[in-house]
Every structure is written in C-alpha cells, then in structure tokens.
Structure 1
Amino acid sequence: MSGLAARQAALVAALTSGAPVPPGFDARRVEVARVALLRKRAGEVARQWPGLAAALGPRWHGVWAGWAATRPTDGSLRDGWDLARELAARDDLPPAAGAELATREATMRYDGTTAPRPRRLPAVRRAAGTIVVQAAGRVRVLRAT
C-alpha cells in the first residue's frame, strides 16, 4: 500500500470506526465530519428501520451513535438489523421495534455477516413480546401478552 493509500485508509478508519486521527489532520475537523457521518447513517438506518427509530424516539440518535461509533457501515439494512438484535439481546428493544425485527427475521435470512436474502420456508420468530409467523409468503404478526 502506498503512503497516500495508507493515510487515506487511516483517515477513513478515524471517520468510521473510532480509530485515532492520523498525523497531519485537524482532529477537530475530523470529529465534526465523523459526527456528521454518524447522523447521516442514522437517517439512512431510520429509513430502513422506521419502527426501530420511532420506538426509540428521542433516544434514537444517542443509542445509534453509541452503537455505531466504532463500527464501519455494512449498509443501512444490516446496520439496523445488527443494532436491533443487540438491543433485543440486552432486553432493551421496545415492543414496536420488536415487531419490525421479528417480521424481518421471519421473511429474510441474515446471519450477521452475509447480505440478507429472502426466506423461502415457513418461519416463526419472536422479539420483544411479538411473534411473527410467515408461511407461503404471507406474514401474520401476533402480539404476545
């Protein structure tokens, strides 16, 4: 890797993964750009996961920024999915977002590393008090009590 390529990679890592600011760059400006990129990513994820963003309400940007600050993007669909799964694992996923996550889990396959793809076989998924059943391309959302 050339010197320029290495500096560019270090700058991208600082902007997207929380890596230290490389020498020769203004740390304040890099931080401003990093925060702007996090906000932009938050908006893109909120468009893919509107239930998650709405359910978190005023907490959305703080929860998102705390989760995404050290993670480079895998795309807004996957970023939202990973965040929702992590919140569910911590029992911090609101019920409205649970319905959205369970629906995605029932209709698509996602292993956390490769791109999501449509699920062909029937599936039952549960998240944050919601049960979703998918069979023959039809989805039924059930609320657990």
Structure 2
Amino acid sequence: MTAGGPLPPGFDEAGVQVAARAILRKRAGEVARAWPALAASYGRDWPETFARWAAERPTNGSIRDAWDFARAHKESLDRNAALELALTETRFHYDGESPPRPRRMAVRRVPGGVAFQLNGRARVIGRR
C-alpha cells in the first residue's frame, strides 16, 4: 500500500490512500523512536518529510528506514542527526540492502570532530 504499487481491482482508492497515509505516519513515529536526533532535526515537519520520502519505498524496519533516510539526506542533517548517523555507522556495517552487521573497528567524521568505535564502544573526539 505504501510502496506505490498498482491498486488491486475492487479496492476503494480513497480508503487505501487514507490507510497508506496512516501507515506512513506510523513508520515516521517508529523511525523517530529509533533515531530521535534525526526526527528532532526536522521538528514538526518530521512526519510529513519522512512520509514523502518513504511513500515509494517499502519498509525494511524502523532502524533501516532511519538509516536509509539519514543517508539520503546526509548533506542537510543538523549536527545532532549527523552525529547519530556517524555513531551508528561506526558501530555497524550496512550496505543498504542486507541487515546491518556489527563492525570491529570504524572511524567517521562528524561536525567538529571524529567518531570512532572499537570493540563495541563508540566515542567522539573533538566535538564541542
């Protein structure tokens, strides 16, 4: 319903659109719980912004939806959302298709510093 596929014969188009919007709002809420800084960076616009992006994409779960959204908007993320993305990417490897896997060691740039992860512990150096 939310991935933009054709409507099966006999379905009420208006009813399906209402249900699809409700599902997209629910997905936005789940993503906001998984990645709070990402959602907070959009303020009141978060549900609609996420819904526009997600409307043509089937869900892969809230964590992967958040990760995909953050990567797609990487250049416009605020400082806290960029940090949330960088810390997640130091802890896990995610190719955009298969489930995320823990990393052994990783380093990512964040606004004002560097985030790194070693043996499951993530840290940030130089952020003010």
User: How does the TM-score come out when normalised to structure 1?
Assistant: 0.81
The one-letter code matched in structure 1 to 2:103 is R
- Going by fraction, where is helix more abundant, 1 or 2? 1
Larger radius of gyration: 1
- Aligned-pair RMSD on alpha carbons? 1.7
Deviation at 1:134, TM superposition (A): 1.2
> Does the aligned pair in 2 maintain the 1:98–1:129 contact within 8 Å?
no
**Uncovered stretches (5+) of structure 2, i.e. residues with no partner:** none
Q: Which residue of 2 aligns with 1:46?
A: 32
Tell me the distance in 2 between the aligned counterparts of 1:38 and 1:130: 35
Tell me the matched-pair count. Answer: 128
SS class of match (2:69): helix
Q: Which residue of 2 aligns with 1:142?
A: 125
User: How does the TM-score come out when normalised to structure 2?
Assistant: 0.90
Q: Which residue of 2 aligns with 1:5?
A: none
Is it true that 1:131 corresponds to 2:117 in the alignment?
A: no
Is it true that 1:107 corresponds to 2:69 in the alignment?
A: no
Q: Which residue of 2 aligns with 1:119?
A: 103
Q: Given the alignment, which residue of 33, 41, 54 partners 1:68? A: 54
**Uncovered stretches (5+) of structure 1, i.e. residues with no partner:** 1-14
Tell me the distance in 1 between the aligned counterparts of 2:53 and 2:72: 9
> Does the aligned pair in 1 maintain the 2:83–2:110 contact within 8 Å?
yes
Deviation at 1:129, TM superposition (A): 5.3
> Does the aligned pair in 2 maintain the 1:102–1:130 contact within 8 Å?
no
Deviation at 1:59, TM superposition (A): 2.1
Tell me the distance in 1 between the aligned counterparts of 2:84 and 2:16: 35
Deviation at 1:138, TM superposition (A): 2.5
Tell me the distance in 1 between the aligned counterparts of 2:77 and 2:24: 21
